[in-house]
Amino acid sequence: MKLMLDLEEEKQALWDLDQAWINAGSVENVERYLSDDIVIMPPDEALISGKESVLQWYADFYEVLQDEDGSPDYVFISQARDLAYTTGRVNLVVPSEDGRDTITEDVKYLIWYKKENEEWKGKLGIFNSNI
């Protein structure tokens, strides 16, 4: 029974971590969640790999992002408790192409995590439009 409670506590901790990453708001806040060999797959863009490249992508992203609000909707942790993934949705508010208005994009995501030195670190992030 204790093992199951520990698993539920770990799922909640990962849920909280995932929500904090999705709503980080700055490169400095995102950095703590990434592994050194993180890979992200943003919509309509090439695959981006490595922590420094991903942080640069986030820096560019946060320059145009006006608001974000997201939450996981599912957390899975492997039986060995060294791998996990989350799925969820986030609303992103960005300027329109002409800059006179804003657009809210509904995005779904999948993030794979691996435990490194007893901490969950993002290994793979996939983001897609939810249309």
pLDDT in tens, 61-117: 999 989 989 999 999 999 999 999 999 999 999 898 898 999 899 999 999 999 999
Least trusted range by pLDDT, from 22-26, 47-51, 111-115: 22-26
Average pLDDT over the chain reads 91
**Given the DSSP bridges, would you call strands 34-41 and 67-77 parallel, antiparallel or unpaired?**
unpaired
Percentage of the chain modeled with pLDDT above 70: 96
Query: How do the domains of the chain map onto residue ranges?
Result: 2-129
User: What residues contact 15, with CB distance under 8 A and at least 6 apart?
Assistant: 72, 75, 86
What's the rounded Cα separation, in Å, for the pair 27 and 31?
Answer: 6
What secondary structure letter does DSSP report for 35? E
Q: Has residue 46 got a pLDDT over 90?
A: yes
Q: For the structural domain made of 2-129, what CATH number should be given? A: 3.10.450.50
Q: Which two tokens stand for residue 122?
A: 């993002």
Answer for the pair 107, 89: CB distance below 8 angstroms, yes or no.
yes
| Predicted TM-score (pTM) of this structure | 0.89
- Give the distance between the most distant pair of CA atoms in the chain: 57
